[in-house]
Chains A and B, each alone.
Chain A
Amino acid sequence: MKNDSKSDAQPKKTDARGELQEASMKTFRRILVALRGTWKIYRRSLTGVTGLGIVFGFFIIAITAPWTAPYDRDFKAPAVDTFIADYATRDLPENVNWSRVIGLTASEKDRPLERVMIYSADEGSVIGYPVTRGIGEETDEIGIEIGSPAAIELPANLRYLEYAHFYRSFFFVLSPDGEGENATATLYEYDYDFIYLREHEVPFVPLYSSNLWNGFSPLYQVGRLALAFADEHNVWMINKRPPDFTEPGIDGVTFTNSLTIPNATIVGNPLVVDGDFANGSMLFVPTDEGIKAYSLNLTRAALTDRVLDITIDRLEWESNHTIDGETFEPATGNDMLIFQYPYQPTTALGKETVAIATTDGRIIAYDRVTGSMAWSSKPILPGIREFEISSLHSSPDNMVIVGRTGERGLIVGLDPETGRVGSNNSLFSTVDGYLNSAPQYVKGQYRYVFSTDKGTIYLATDEMQINATFSAPGGGAVTPAAFLGNIYIEGSRAGNYFGVITEDGSLFVETLTGVNIAPLHPGTYPSGNYYPLGTDYEGHDILTQVMYGTRAELLVGVSAAFFSVVIGTIVGLVAGFYSGIIGELLMRATDVMLSLPYLVIMLLFAAAFGPSLFNIIIIFAILSWAGIARVIRSVTLSTRKRAFVDAAIVAGASDTRLIFRHIGPNVIPYAFLYMTFMISGAIVTEAILAFLGFGDPNAITWGMMLQYLQISGHSLDAPWWLLPPGIAITLLSLAFYLIGRAFDEVVNPRLRRR
């Protein structure tokens, strides 16, 4: 063998390969023998075998996870399991005919609930039930209560009843006095607390009533109400400024004025826009000659700028719905719509349009201020040939058309600036039945809620796509006036609900979105799924996550330990072999590394270089090689003194050959031994890093599961989520540790029990 290193002649290729083969067979056999010997000693330790078995089990789980795990890696429990529809029912008092309900204030987050106002047709009285915040704040219930009512008697022959709320509530009741040509009517104003305020004489018996304009002037910080009535030639308007905070005790200021249009016949409901007290207040009247737009004139006090009078001033513009020579008839009975972004000063062109629907399904929009036609559009919907427009509504972003096509109801969204139905004709849905309530826009949810005459309540998105349906409780129809619309309820189950008064006289509220009840207990759920260990906050099945997490854990544990051991072994070998300056230096470095608090520094690195599995492996390897280096060095030192090394040196072996061929094999068992302890430590360290927030967010590891538990705030109340990952970490780490201990007895014979 000595001659091998010096032989220079071309060795025959086959010989070399044969030698290599023989040499590797020899090494292989030697390894086998060593392994068998090791096993004989190892298996005497019960703990060692147990540890090995556990690790083996985890490996199997890691490999077979896609087939054995109950669910997919990215599975989330379906909404039917994690969301429960939150609802509550409150009985409304009996003896009341709930045939017509005129309004629960659309309560929003910053406005508390007001009253359910019921107009009972045959008794001629208005009854108001306060729907107030209930005890739900403290308990787990939905916070809504019906209080005792207050009622007033109304004059018979009620024609109109409207309820308005802005900081203060009012309602208006119109009743005709007498009949015939010269009959007049009276408009009664009542305060929120059913206190009669005043009455106004309307010089005619109205056929039409306008929208109740209910607006707020950001400039003057007061609300405004405006209402108009019309018959065939006359319009009567009331502008009311409710009392504000600076005028306690006065019930506001009211202005009334009237207008006569002798030549044209009024054919539909007027439309009021009461601007900003500054300008832009207008009244739109649909006649058989087209829309006539009148401006309102405000007279102000010189010094204080208070409004002293409001009159219908002059005709600003009129338009007769003519497009390219063809005149379109306004559809009678359909409302006109003013599209205006709420609370914006009236400056933006193109966003302030008055729209009217015509008899052939066309919508014509006029610029509010100038009367020029902004656009005209006959919405064409794919697959729908004819549809009839019932009404126009508006929301912050869309003009919403409610109509019917055949036996189905229709809800369409138009771009208010162009009149087109969305960019790809997608902004519409058809529903079974006809919409009997205006689509109410729920702020903050970007949804519309409406009911149909079949008793179904729909939720539609911004794009008019139906994404949820609810049935009226009890299965009965939701009577037309009984759908109250969006209610924001405060308390512990705060959120947006819709309110419905059912035929059997209860107030039913149901949440629009559902309450998330994840994390779920272990068990079976409405979808039929069984979650053996429950789910986490997003609905991931815990058992699946633990099983898939095994992969990352084993990967991180073994790689981090492996690299750490490689570095440590090399350092230890070199330090032990070259015991001069290099050795001393390396040992000092090792001492320094050993005295560092490694977790704290690992956190620094993780914070600096970003969380990822790879970084964690590298960081761990860089900071934990010191312990192994020390041990390897002492083993190297003691091996070096042995006889066979001296023999090899005499024989002329080079340094590298000595290190790797002679000393190396003696060191490897120790390296393996410490590697198992390192794996144990790496797994726990990764868990700690992940828990503190420095783990890899894209990987499923048991540490990340626990971190997520902590972050979602359920650490104290979800033991099925808390226990499994921790048990898995402990088991796996313990298993490797046991393997290490048992292996320790193999490597260090004096540890063996006698």
Chain B
Amino acid sequence: MAGMTRYVAVRSIQTFITLLIILTLIFIMFEALPAKPQDLLATTPNMQPSQIQYMIELFGYDRPVSERYVNYLINMLTFDFGISFSQAEGVWDILSERIPRTMLLFGGATILAYIIGIYVGALIAWRRGGILDGSSVIISLVFYNMPSFWIGLIFLVIFASELNWFPLTGWYDPTDNLPYVLDVLWHVSLPMIVLLLLSLAGTILLMRTAMLDVIGENYMVTAKAIGLPERKVLFKHGARNAMLPVVTSFVIAFVFSIGGAVVLENVFSFPGMGALYIDALFELDFPVAQATLYIITLMVLLGNFAADLLYGYLDPRVRI
């Protein structure tokens, strides 16, 4: 493919630079926080000054900022996150068991939303002007503007509390008589369904708009006039071109759904990264908060990068 290597190289460098900039920003933000770790640790009664001093040295707060910054960068890039303030465990250990859970939750939801949404959006746009079109647009609009936690709570009330189809909280409950995988899926289902609905709303709207744009194009009219079967016209010519903005918005929605996952994890008491992040913020557990923020941002950046690559594959114009 023409120019693909160059394109990939340029994008990789850009992503890496962006990562460094973001890491720096995170560092600055944590430096700017009014509370410092040693202040928090000092609130424990019976804390000796020598212990506080030890803590300061351990976390490196007695070194100059520049040295701390370099150490910080090296640590972050090598995934060496240190020890949590509130739980006496390595941050990576805590994080590593949570990452797959959150990934399952929003990864599953987003992928499903996109698969279904692209198909449904294209279909709706094709049958434009009907009742299906109008009503699905309205429903999607409504869901798009709902606060995610609220719809989560409503689902929790209806499906978990009243109907008992799903469990109320958690990730895995050994007292359920289900094999591990099934039990996990059962627990993850409700939050995933909610997240799916919310993502679907945006996807359908976007796909529909993109398809409407494309349908009016000349080549679509030509294809239909030639006599190509409708399905082929729709999906091979129409959807493929409409997918371009859809793929870019995949990235935006990815970012959105991380935020949505954070909130939903709170509502469903789902022990994932989002819940960890919020707890760490409340407890001012710096290492954990920093590391979680970093991982989330890294995931977003990688998602961006992947989307860019995909976009480059789909749309040759970009590679020029």
Q: Report if A and B associate in a common complex.
A: yes
Is B147 in the interface zone, CB < 8 Å from A? yes
1/0 per residue B140-152: CB within 8 Å of A?
0110111111110
Is B214 in the interface zone, CB < 8 Å from A? no
- Which bracket fits the contact residues of A? 35 or more
Is B53 in the interface zone, CB < 8 Å from A? no
- Contact among B21, B153, B282 for A693, CB-based, below 8 A: B282
Identify the closest chain B residue to A738 (Cβ): B141
Could you say which of B56-64, B117-125, B294-302 contacts chain A?
B294-302
A597 touching B141, Cβ below 8 Å: no
Q: Which residues of A contact B199 (CB under 8 A)?
A: none
A715 touching B277, Cβ below 8 Å: no
Is A432 in the interface zone, CB < 8 Å from B? no
- Contact among A609, A691, A725 for B263, CB-based, below 8 A: A691
CB distance from B194 to the nearest CB of A (A): 13
- Contact among A601, A715, A733 for B153, CB-based, below 8 A: A715
Is A298 in the interface zone, CB < 8 Å from B? no
B154 touching A600, Cβ below 8 Å: no
Is B161 in the interface zone, CB < 8 Å from A? yes
Distance A691 CA – B262 CA, assembled complex (angstroms): 12
A603 touching B258, Cβ below 8 Å: no
Contacts A603-B278, A737-B144 given; indicate if A595 touches B301 (C-beta within 8 A). yes
Contacts A596-B297, A598-B255 given; indicate if A604 touches B157 (C-beta within 8 A). no
Is B281 in the interface zone, CB < 8 Å from A? yes
Is B163 in the interface zone, CB < 8 Å from A? no
Q: What is the predominant secondary structure among interface residues of chain B facing chain A?
A: helix
A597 touching B145, Cβ below 8 Å: no
Is B320 in the interface zone, CB < 8 Å from A? no
CB distance from A91 to the nearest CB of B (A): 38
A595 touching B300, Cβ below 8 Å: yes
Q: Which residues of B contact A703 (CB under 8 A)?
A: 147
B147 touching A600, Cβ below 8 Å: no
Contacts A596-B300, A599-B258, A608-B33 given; indicate if A734 touches B145 (C-beta within 8 A). yes
- Contact among B25, B146, B282 for A607, CB-based, below 8 A: B282
B150 touching A726, Cβ below 8 Å: yes
A600 touching B296, Cβ below 8 Å: yes
Is A146 in the interface zone, CB < 8 Å from B? no
Distance A165 CA – B21 CA, assembled complex (angstroms): 74
Q: Which residues of B contact A684 (CB under 8 A)?
A: 145-147
Distance A715 CA – B146 CA, assembled complex (angstroms): 17
- Contact among A715, A722, A725, A730 for B142, CB-based, below 8 A: A730
CB distance from A58 to the nearest CB of B (A): 14
Q: Which residues of A contact B18 (CB under 8 A)?
A: 591-592, 595
B289 touching A597, Cβ below 8 Å: no
A600 touching B262, Cβ below 8 Å: yes
CB distance from B125 to the nearest CB of A (A): 13
A688 touching B293, Cβ below 8 Å: no
B293 touching A716, Cβ below 8 Å: no
B149 touching A688, Cβ below 8 Å: yes
Is B266 in the interface zone, CB < 8 Å from A? yes
The interface on chain B, measured as residues whose beta carbon lies within 8 A of the other chain's beta carbons, has a size of 43
Is B242 in the interface zone, CB < 8 Å from A? no
B145 touching A605, Cβ below 8 Å: no
Distance A746 CA – B154 CA, assembled complex (angstroms): 37
A716 touching B149, Cβ below 8 Å: no
Q: Which residues of B contact A734 (CB under 8 A)?
A: 141-142, 145
CB distance from B313 to the nearest CB of A (A): 20
CB distance from B270 to the nearest CB of A (A): 14
The winner among B22, B151, B153 for most chain A CB atoms within 10 A is B153
Q: Which residues of B contact A713 (CB under 8 A)?
A: none
Contacts A597-B300, A600-B259 given; indicate if A692 touches B278 (C-beta within 8 A). yes
Q: Which residues of A contact B266 (CB under 8 A)?
A: 691-692
A688 touching B146, Cβ below 8 Å: no
Q: Which residues of B contact A680 (CB under 8 A)?
A: 145
Q: Which residues of A contact B293 (CB under 8 A)?
A: 600-601, 604
A597 touching B277, Cβ below 8 Å: no
Distance A553 CA – B145 CA, assembled complex (angstroms): 15
A726 touching B278, Cβ below 8 Å: no
A600 touching B277, Cβ below 8 Å: yes
1/0 per residue B257-275: CB within 8 Å of A?
0110011001100000000
Distance A596 CA – B26 CA, assembled complex (angstroms): 11
Contacts A693-B282, A729-B147 given; indicate if A722 touches B153 (C-beta within 8 A). yes
Is A617 in the interface zone, CB < 8 Å from B? no
Is A410 in the interface zone, CB < 8 Å from B? no
Is A687 in the interface zone, CB < 8 Å from B? yes
The winner among A595, A596, A684, A692 for most chain B CB atoms within 10 A is A595
Distance A100 CA – B196 CA, assembled complex (angstroms): 71
Q: Which residues of B contact A719 (CB under 8 A)?
A: 157
Is B304 in the interface zone, CB < 8 Å from A? yes
Distance A526 CA – B211 CA, assembled complex (angstroms): 59
Distance A715 CA – B157 CA, assembled complex (angstroms): 8
Q: Which residues of B contact A726 (CB under 8 A)?
A: 146-147, 150-151, 153-154
Distance A722 CA – B152 CA, assembled complex (angstroms): 11
B149 touching A592, Cβ below 8 Å: no
Q: Which residues of A contact B278 (CB under 8 A)?
A: 603, 692-693
1/0 per residue B1-39: CB within 8 Å of A?
000000000000000001001100100010011110000
Chosen A-B contacts, 16 in total, with CB atoms closer than 8 Å, are A595-B18, A596-B297, A597-B255, A597-B259, A600-B296, A604-B289, A604-B293, A608-B29, A608-B33, A684-B147, A687-B149, A688-B148, A706-B147, A722-B150, A729-B147, A730-B146
Binding site for A on B (CB under 8 A): 18, 21-22, 25, 29, 32-35, 141-142, 144-151, 153-154, 156-157, 161, 255, 258-259, 262-263, 266-267, 277-278, 281-282, 284, 289, 293, 296-297, 300-301, 304
Binding site for B on A (CB under 8 A): 591-592, 595-601, 603-605, 607-609, 680, 684, 687-688, 691-693, 703, 706, 710, 715-717, 719, 722-723, 725-726, 729-730, 733-734, 737-738
* Given A597-B258, A599-B259, 11 additional A-B pairs, CB 8 A: A592-B18, A596-B22, A597-B255, A600-B259, A604-B289, A604-B293, A691-B263, A715-B153, A715-B156, A715-B157, A716-B156
